[in-house]
Chain A
Amino acid sequence: MADKKLDCRGLACPLPVIKTKELIDQGGVEQITVLVDNAAARENVSRFLERSGYQVQVAQQSGTLAVTGRRGAGAAAARPGAVCQPEASQKVLVLIGADRLGTGDDTLGQKLLVNFIGTLKEMGPELWCLVLLNAGVKLAVTGSGVLGHLQELERNGLMVLVCGTCLNHFQLLEQKQVGETTNMLDIVTHLQLADKVIPLT
């Protein structure tokens, strides 16, 4: 298992993230610890590692913040709260490419999708990422019947990615109320990182 260390103290954003990325891009990094000394770097390195499939812990020691990312077999044991919370044995990504579920009757399809989103939480911690694209982005905007469910899922740690091109196409960029606007490169990367993809398109 490759355990890498990186000292980014004294470096301003975006350098800590770029250096972290360069190290990870070398491949085979199961654990990485990045030392930073400011909140922005801690936040961005943590976020980058999480987006890259690592489970992240931050420790502080006399002004130095140690951001540690782990993935693979060692990750579950190192995760905070492991004693009392069920661990995710896999990362599930749900890809929603429509604003209704199934074909036959659109009104029924919309109701089914509301029900589906409301039931997603039953997947527990394995539900890792939700990607909304094409008409699926309408679920993330003002007036959506599932907005409350999505916001609750996001508050509980679900990564919600909303296709920026699609929002732009439907002229809904300003109405987005949940999730992170993203692009196809990010979506493809998350599809790669997921252990299981459930497509609803």
Chain B
Amino acid sequence: MRRTLKGRAGEAQVGRITPEMTVLEILCRHRHTEEVFRQYDGAAVVCLCCAALFDAVGETARKYGLDLQGLLASLEKAAAAPPDESK
């Protein structure tokens, strides 16, 4: 049976967020990282979840002049934190 994206990006996994991962991949693995991307929208002057959804986060940082290490650290922190169910 042919699979598409099933069972890959959507699976909750604990692991490093790397520059090669796409924004969508990160969002699917760690849904609550959306807030981090939103925080960087101002610096990028675009909605990253709109304009860079399929791009690697490393390329996105370069393209929009973002601090890649800071972004990765924020994403990792958000990914490691348990989601706030009250939201």
Flag whether A180 is at the interface (Cβ < 8 A). Answer: yes
List the B side residues contacting A185 at CB < 8 Å. 8-9, 21, 25
Assess A165 versus B34: contact at CB under 8 Å? Given A25-B5, A40-B50, A192-B3: no
- Which residues of chain A are near B20, meaning CB under 8 Å? 164-165, 168, 183-184
Q: Is B28 an interface residue (CB 8 A)?
A: yes
Binary interface profile of A, 34-56, with partner B (CB < 8 Å = 1, else 0)? Answer: 00000010001001100111000
Which residue in B6, B7, B27 is a CB contact (below 8 Å) of A14?
A: B27
**Please, which residues of chain B bring their CB within 8 A of the CB of A180?**
54-55
Q: Which residues of A contact B7 (CB under 8 A)?
A: 25
Across chains A and B, the number of contacting residue pairs, with CB separation under 8 Å, is 90
Among A16-24, A92-100, A132-140, the one that faces the other chain is A16-24
Is B53 an interface position by the 8 A CB rule?
A: yes
Tell whether, in the assembled complex, residue B28 and residue A21 are in contact, meaning their CB atoms are under 8 Å apart: yes
Q: Sort chain A's interface into a size bin.
A: 20 to 34
A173 vs B22: C-alpha distance in the bound complex, in angstroms?
15
The one of A22, A53, A165, A186 in contact with B22, judged by C-beta atoms closer than 8 angstroms, is: A186
Q: A13-B50, A44-B53, A185-B9 are in contact. Are A164 and B59 (CB under 8 A)?
A: yes
One of B6, B53, B59 near A13 (C-beta < 8 A): B53
Q: How far is the CA of A184 from the CA of B51 in the complex (A)?
A: 21
Given the interface contacts A14-B27, A40-B47, does A181 sit within 8 Å of B55 by beta carbon? yes
The interface bits of chain B over 1-44 (1 if a CB of A lies within 8 angstroms of the residue's CB, else 0) are 11111111110000000011111110110010010000000000
Closest Cβ–Cβ distance, residue A79 to chain B (whole Å): 19
> Given contacts A25-B5, A164-B20, is CB(A47)–CB(B54) below 8 Å?
yes
Given A164-B58, A182-B56, A185-B8: A14 touches B22 (CB 8 Å cut-off) = no
Residues of B within 8 A of A (CB): 1-10, 19-25, 27-28, 31, 34, 47, 49-51, 53-56, 58-59, 62
Can you list the 7 inter-chain pairs with the closest CB atoms, starting with the nearest? A40-B50, A183-B20, A13-B50, A14-B49, A52-B4, A25-B6, A13-B49
Can you report 30 A-B residue pairs in the complex whose CB atoms are below 8 A from each other?
A: A12-B49, A13-B47, A13-B49, A14-B23, A17-B53, A18-B27, A21-B10, A25-B4, A40-B47, A40-B50, A44-B54, A47-B54, A52-B5, A53-B2, A53-B4, A164-B20, A164-B58, A165-B20, A168-B58, A173-B62, A180-B55, A181-B55, A183-B22, A183-B56, A184-B20, A185-B9, A185-B21, A189-B4, A189-B5, A193-B2
Which A residues have a C-beta under 8 Å from some C-beta of B? 12-14, 17-18, 21-22, 24-25, 27, 40, 44, 47-48, 51-53, 164-165, 168, 173-174, 180-186, 189, 192-193
